[in-house]
Amino acid sequence: MVVIETPRSPRSRKSAKFERYGWLYMRFSGVALLVLIFGHLIINLVMNGGITQISFAFVAGKWADPFWKIWDGLMLWLALIHGTNGMRTIVNDYSERPMIRKTLNVALWVVCAALIILGTLVVTTFDPCVDSSVSHTLSVCK
Amino acid sequence: MPTKPAGTLYRGKTGMWSWVLHRITGVAIFFFLLVHTLDTALVRMSPKDYDLVIATYKGAIIGFAELGLVAAILFHALNGIRVILIDFWSKGAKYQRVMFWVVIALALILFAGFAPRHIANVIHDIELGY
Ligand code: HEM
Ligand code: HEM
A2 contact residues in B (CB cutoff 8 A): none
- CB distance B45–A121 less than 8 Å? no
B23 touches chain A (CB under 8 A): yes
The answer to whether residue A139 sits within a structural domain is: no
Is A136 inside any structural domain?
Answer: no
Q: Tell me the shortest Cα–Cα distance from A12 to chain B, in angstroms.
A: 24
B52 to chain A, any CB pair closer than 8 A? The answer is: no
Domain assignment of residue A67, yes or no: yes
A16-68 tens-digit pLDDT: 888 889 999 999 999 999 999 999 999 999 988 888 889 998 999 899 889 99
B57 in A contact zone (CB under 8 Å): yes
Q: How far apart are CA B57 and CA B60, in angstroms?
A: 8
Size of interface A-B (CB pairs under 8 A): 103
pLDDT more than 70, % of chain A:
84
**The total number of structural domains that make up chain A:** 1
Look at B44 and A122 and tell me if their CB atoms are within 8 Å. yes
Per-residue pLDDT, B30: 98
Chain A residue with minimum CA distance to B37 = A119
pLDDT > 90: percent of chain A: 57
Instruction: Say if residue A11's pLDDT is above 80.
Output: no
- Round to whole Å and give the CA distance between B52 and A123: 20
pLDDT score recorded for residue A20? 87
**pLDDT-flagged residues of chain B (< 50):** none
Average pLDDT, chain A: 88
The answer to whether residue A85 sits within a structural domain is yes
Ligand number, closest to the Cα atom of B51: 2
Residue B23, C-beta contacts closer than 8 angstroms, at least 6 positions apart: A90
Residue A123 falls within a domain, yes or no? yes
Residue A71 lies in a domain: yes
Which residue from A46, A59, A83 is facing B29, i.e. has the nearest CB?
A83
Per-residue pLDDT tens over the stretch A67-115:
999 999 999 999 999 999 999 999 998 988 888 899 999 999 999 999 9
Would you say residue A3 lies in a domain?
A: no
Q: From the alpha carbon of B78, which atom of ligand 1 is closest? A: 5
| Per-residue b or e along B35-72, where b marks 16 or more CB atoms closer than 10 Å to that residue's CB | ebbeebbbbbeebeebbeebeebbeeeebeebeebbbb
Q: Is residue A8 part of a domain?
A: no
Residue A70 domain boundaries: 15-130
* Residue A123's CATH number: 1.20.1300.10
At residue A17, the pLDDT reads: 85
Handedness of CA B105, B107, B108, B112 (dihedral sign): positive
Q: What's the whole-model pTM score?
A: 0.89
